Chains A and B, each alone.
Chain A
Amino acid sequence: MKLWRVPVLAVPWCWLLVFLVAPLAIVVGISFAQPADGIPPYAPVLAWHDGWPILSLDPANYAVLLQDRFYLAALLRSVVVAGLSSLACLLLGYPMALAIARAPAAWRSRLLLLVILPFWTGFLLRVTAWIGLLRDDGWINGALLAVGLIHAPLRLLYTDFAMYVGIVYAYLPFMILPLYARLSKLDPALEAAAGDLGESPVGVFLRVTWPLSRPGVLAGMMLVFIPAVGEYVIPELLGGPGAQTIGRVLWTEFFDNHDWPMASAVAVALLGVLLVPAALLQRSGSRRFDDRGA
């Protein structure tokens, strides 16, 4: 009876082993290697001497990572950018998710379709489209000039503003969808009961709607925050030269400096930083489960 479970479970385990564990091990391995001229551009970590495997781990890259303010600043900047972006997504996404959840049933699926509609076009294409909107002679400046609100084009493209706009735009659906999932399951009688017990609409929101939607808020924040920390394309295409996020640093180390070991060390550090919120999410998820099961 149980034998058939082995091949079934083997498929996902093999998948994880081949496409997650093995590449991760390779990246971690390279991060401890020394750069070298050649292909690949690093000295092997594992060498054979008289039939014995010799592991030569060089922590120099991590030392540089910790000592050179450049890397830490980039990491911190990325965390701040991702944090502010997920907050902005929350502020924009919450009312949208609430409105969709409260819309007449016939409208809901149409509105949700609008939320995921952008996914039908390539991500790169959509981000590039913002260049056309934001540049000095772009659509936004053109419109503002035409109605006479401004007399000289605003500097929009290649600024932090443009970067934030791009990130929020790209990741907003990831905030709306989990929030909607949560809010649409909320029993409307609970809000009615809170009103009945003397709470004004603001009080109803603060004491019932918001606390009950918190798991959706947390999930949405994580879904935006985690990919936004490592985001490379948007800061590269829309951000200014000062927007040295960790994704751009990684790219530079890998493709421009050909320093694979340093790039790997940056990637491992990024992963380490992202494990914190992921663990938080995991913990809050299991705690909710305990509450229900106890």
Chain B
Amino acid sequence: MGPLQGGGLTLEPHLRVRGVRKHFADVAALDGLDLDVQRGEMFVLVGGSGSGKTTLLRCIAGFERPDDGTIRLAGRDMTALPPYRRPVNTMFQSYALFPHLSVARNVAFGLRGLPRGEVEARVAEMLGLVRLEGYGERRPDQLSGGQQQRVALARALARRPELLLLDEPLSALDRNLREATRQELSALQRRLGVTFVLVTHDQEEALTLATRIGVMQAGRLAQVGTPADIYERPASRFVAEFLGAANILRGVVRASDAGGALIALSTGGQVQSAMPAPAAVGHPVDVVLRPERLTLVPAGPAAQPNRLDARVAHAAYRGEALSLTLHLADGTALRVTRPLGDGLADLPAAGEALTVAWSPAAAVLLTA
């Protein structure tokens, strides 16, 4: 069962959230949120702190009761069920391993009621899944952070939940371990086919893990789509700035049809975009240009579209790339990321005049 990324489904999605509202003392943490997650998906919720992503997770887990709206899983209404009656398990940010129980008994915690032999087999299977065979008798505080993280995952998966919720599962790990663990988590999820809903504030984590991403803003989903969708075609300025770096320039539509649009920038210069303008001719739009989509070319005729003359304000060597901050003629800052070629680590000097260019496909248009 592969992850479904498109629409056009007639069956009810695995997880269906409709109109969920949750207020905490006058503050709307969730403001009429709708969300569909298909079976087997790795759905990643991103958003700033206070955007409601953790509240949504807690509502799905049952720790919070929505003020309004419904949450259905596998065709069943779960809105009113307490956490212990839901076929949902959570992997907590702090892992929340029981310090008084061994690793094996932590994993077996949710298996009460199963025959003894089956519990032992399941615990062994889960510990194998997270490569912790032989650690069953240890106490959680005798494990490293990465091992604790895997115990938490094994414990949450042991009950074979319909849905696994992961609250910042990798945030407590150091950087190197995080990358390796991310790949393991992704491989495990695909192998088991369990639906994952994961919350993170790490955009790289979101882009690399997700089958689909939901960007949250003020208690609602600002945009839902595949990582490429969200990154390449952000639906709003907020999404564009939240995932990845973005240069956003204001302009006015000069011409637009199905094949593209021509925009006159307020800083001077023109943008030719491969996408039709989201506004009528004469109306303002925002042009989103990703720093890594901008190239530096020798100064040429300035009147061409998709070219801007600029001066280097600041240049930083980042190892795998150069980060440049350029100033346009009117002082507008433009960030450019340039990959390093062979031995081309020489930094452009501040004040150096350059021309920035991009392709029509790189210019994303948003309603201003």
Contacts and interface: CB of A to CB of B under 8 A. Distances in A.
A192 B98 contact: no
B90 interface: yes
Interface string A162-204: 0000000000000000000000000101101111111110010
Nearest to B58: A192
Nearest to A214: B100
A196 B61 contact: yes
Contact of B92 (A189, A199, A291): A189
Interface residues of B, number: 24
Interface centre among A195, A208, A292 (most CB of B within 10 A): A195
Contacts of A197: 84, 89, 109-110, 155, 159
Interface centre among B62, B109, B139 (most CB of A within 10 A): B109
Contacts of B75: none
A53 interface: no
A187 B142 contact: no
Contacts of A196: 61-63, 83-84, 88-90, 156
A188 to B, nearest CB: 9
A71 B190 CA distance: 74
Contact of A187 (B62, B82, B84, B96): B96
B141 interface: yes
Nearest to A208: B98
Given A198-B110, A198-B159, A190 B96 contact: yes
Contact of A195 (B83, B100, B141, B142): B83
B343 interface: no
A189 B84 contact: no
B319 interface: no
A200 B84 contact: yes
A192 B93 CA distance: 12
A105 interface: no
B112 interface: yes
B100 A212 contact: yes
Contacts of A292: 141
B96 A195 contact: no
6 contacts: A189-B94, A192-B83, A196-B61, A196-B62, A199-B112, A294-B139
Interface of A: 187, 189-190, 192-200, 203, 207-208, 211-212, 291-292, 294
Given A192-B63, A192-B83, 5 more contacts: A196-B89, A197-B110, A198-B84, A198-B159, A211-B100
